[in-house]
């Protein structure tokens, strides 16, 4: 299947409130429309994850990031420009996202993806896409498609075909929390 067709099918599923399994700029992810609370609830249920532990989402561009965060601090732009590996930013003032995706303090974990498949998926979907590791909460993240448990495979509405054959090390993103006051806290290196 061509990547273009794979992305089209994934988008169709997300537009109907379904959840997908897809390759990202880090590990394989479970995704859905980040603005659809019912779809987000399905992801929490599949992962058996407490919904007080917020999920992250991916976007394709600076412009899209600004659609979901009220005031992006200057240090965020500096960090985005400086980092070489995928880095998720936790930013205050989340807006226009499903309420159950936003942390209790009003923040959101969000990352601009540059990896070709997930970038194109976000670009063509024209919205933020949930991106949480394809595993049951507490179990190791699936670095490659072959590492994904049957329970996760059976629990999604669509499994992307792109990059299924890969067998190489992938690691989760770095996570950095940025306060409006300029505070920087590294959550995961």
Look at residue 182 in the predicted model and tell me its pLDDT: 73
Q: Domain spanning 3-188 has what CATH number?
A: 3.90.870.10
Residue 3, C-beta contacts closer than 8 angstroms, at least 6 positions apart: 116, 117, 120, 162
pLDDT tens across 108-143, in order?
Answer: 999 999 999 999 999 999 999 999 999 999 998 888
Instruction: Look at the pTM and tell me if it is higher than 0.75.
Output: yes
CA atoms of 107 and 68, how far apart (whole Å) = 10
pLDDT band for position 51 (50/70/90)? confident
Long-range CB contacts (within 8 A, 24+) of 148-157? 148/21, 148/28, 152/21, 152/30, 152/46, 153/21, 155/19, 155/46, 156/18, 156/19, 156/20, 156/21, 156/30, 156/46, 157/13, 157/18, 157/19, 157/20
pLDDT band for position 144 (50/70/90)? very high
pLDDT tens across 69-120, in order?
Answer: 999 999 999 999 999 899 999 999 999 999 999 999 999 999 999 999 999 9
Token pair listed for 153? 């495979």
**Domain ranges in the chain?**
3-188
CA atoms of 134 and 30, how far apart (whole Å) = 5
CA atoms of 117 and 40, how far apart (whole Å) = 21
């Amino acid at each position: 299947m061509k990547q273009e067709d794979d992305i089209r099918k994934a988008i169709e599923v997300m537009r109907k409130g379904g959840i997908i399994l897809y390759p990202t700029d880090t590990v394989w992810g479970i995704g859905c429309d980040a603005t659809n609370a019912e779809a987000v609830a399905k992801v929490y249920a599949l992962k058996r994850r407490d919904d007080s532990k917020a999920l992250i989402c991916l976007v394709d561009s600076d412009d899209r990031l600004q659609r979901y965060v009220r005031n992006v601090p200057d240090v965020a732009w500096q960090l985005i420009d400086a980092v070489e590996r995928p880095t998720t930013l936790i930013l205050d003032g989340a807006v226009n996202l499903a309420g159950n995706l936003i942390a209790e303090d009003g923040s959101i974990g969000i990352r601009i993806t540059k990896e070709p498949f997930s970038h194109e998926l976000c670009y063509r979907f024209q919205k933020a896409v949930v991106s949480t590791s394809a595993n049951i909460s507490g179990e190791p993240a699936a670095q490659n498609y072959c590492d994904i448990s049957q329970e996760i495979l059976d629990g999604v509405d669509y499994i992307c075909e792109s990059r299924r054959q890969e067998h190489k090390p992938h690691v989760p993103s770095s996570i950095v929390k940025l306060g409006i006051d300029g505070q920087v806290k590294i959550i995961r290196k």
